[in-house]
Amino acid sequence: MKRTDYCGALTAAQNEKEVTLAGWVHRRRDHGGLIFIDLRDREGLVQVVFNPQLSEAIHQRAHQLRSEFVIQVNGKVMRRPAGTENKDLPTGEVEVHASDLEILNPSLTPPFSIEEEKEPSETLRLQYRYLDLRRRSVQTNFILRHNLSKAIRRFLDQHQFLEIETPFLTKSTPEGARDFLVPSRMNAGQFYALPQSPQLFKQILMVSGFDRYYQIVRCFRDEDLRADRQPEFTQIDIEMSFIEREDILSLMEEMVRTVLKEVRGIHLESPFPRMTYQEAMSRFGVDKPDLRFGLELKDLSDIAARSEFKVFRDAVEKKGLVKGINAKGLATLSRKELEELTQEATGRGAKGLAWMKATPEGLEAPIAKFFKPEMLQEIAQRLEAAPGDLLLFVADREKVVYEVLGHLRLVIGRRLNLIDPKALKLLWVTDFPLLEYDDAEKRYVAMHHPFTSPMDEDIPLLATDPLRARAKAYDIVLNGTEIGGGSIRIHQNEVQSKMFELLGITKEEAEAKFGFLLQALQYGAPPHGGIAFGFDRLTAILAGVDSIRDVIAFPKTQKGICLMTNAPSEVDPRQLKELHIKPTE
pLDDT single digits (tens) 74-129: 999 999 999 999 998 999 999 999 999 999 999 999 999 998 778 899 999 999 99
**Residue 430, pLDDT above cutoff 70:** yes
Residue type present at position 217: V
Confidence of residue 228 (pLDDT cuts 50, 70, 90): low
- Of 274, 301, 294, which Cα lies nearest the Cα of 409? 294
pLDDT recorded at residue 440: 85
pLDDT tens-digit readout, 504-547: 899 998 898 899 999 999 999 999 999 999 999 999 999 999 88
DSSP-assigned states of every residue in 448-483? S-TTBPBPGGGTTHHHH-GGGPBBSEEEEEETTEEE
- In degrees and rounded to multiples of 5, residue 73 shows phi and psi of -130, 130
Strands 212-220 and 162-163: parallel
- Report the pLDDT averaged over residues 157-180: 90
Q: 3-class DSSP state for residue 243?
A: coil
Q: Which domains does the chain have, with CATH numbers?
A: 12-105 (2.40.50.140), 118-272+527-584 (3.30.930.10), 293-419 (3.30.1360.30), 426-525 (3.30.930.10)
Average pLDDT over residues 467-493: 96
Please enumerate, as own/partner, the contacts of 228-234 that have beta carbons within 8 Å and a separation of 24 or more: 228/481, 228/537, 228/540, 228/547, 228/548, 229/548, 230/536, 230/548, 230/549, 230/552, 230/555, 230/556, 231/180, 231/556, 231/560, 232/556, 233/534, 233/535, 233/536, 233/548, 233/552, 234/535, 234/536
Predicted local distance difference test score (pLDDT) of residue 346: 94
For range 23-42, the mean pLDDT: 93
Please compute the mean of the pLDDT values over residues 39-59 and round it to a whole number.
94
Residue 54, pLDDT > 60, answer yes
Question: Mean of the pLDDT values across residues 472-488?
Answer: 96
Query: CA–CA separation, 232 vs 253, rounded Å?
Result: 26
Q: Specify whether the CB–CB gap between 490 and 503 falls below 8 A.
A: no
pLDDT of residue 174: 65
pLDDT for the residue numbered 20: 97
Phi, psi at 474, each rounded to 5°: -155, 145
pLDDT over 70 percentage in the chain? 98
Alpha-carbon distance of 266 to 251, in angstroms, equals: 18
Q: What is the pLDDT of residue 285?
A: 97
pTM of the model: 0.91
Q: Has residue 179 got a pLDDT over 70?
A: yes
Q: How confident is the model at residue 224 (pLDDT cuts 50, 70, 90)?
A: confident
Q: State the average pLDDT over residues 241-257.
A: 97
Q: In what order do the strands lie in the sheet with 298-299?
A: 298-299, 321-327, 390-396, 354-359, 362-364
Residue 227: the pLDDT is: 57
Name the percent of the chain in helix, strand, coil, to the closest 5. 35, 25, 40
Q: Helices (H), strands (E): how many in the chain?
A: 17, 22
Q: Which tens digit of pLDDT belongs to each residue from 277-298?
A: 999 999 999 999 999 999 999 9
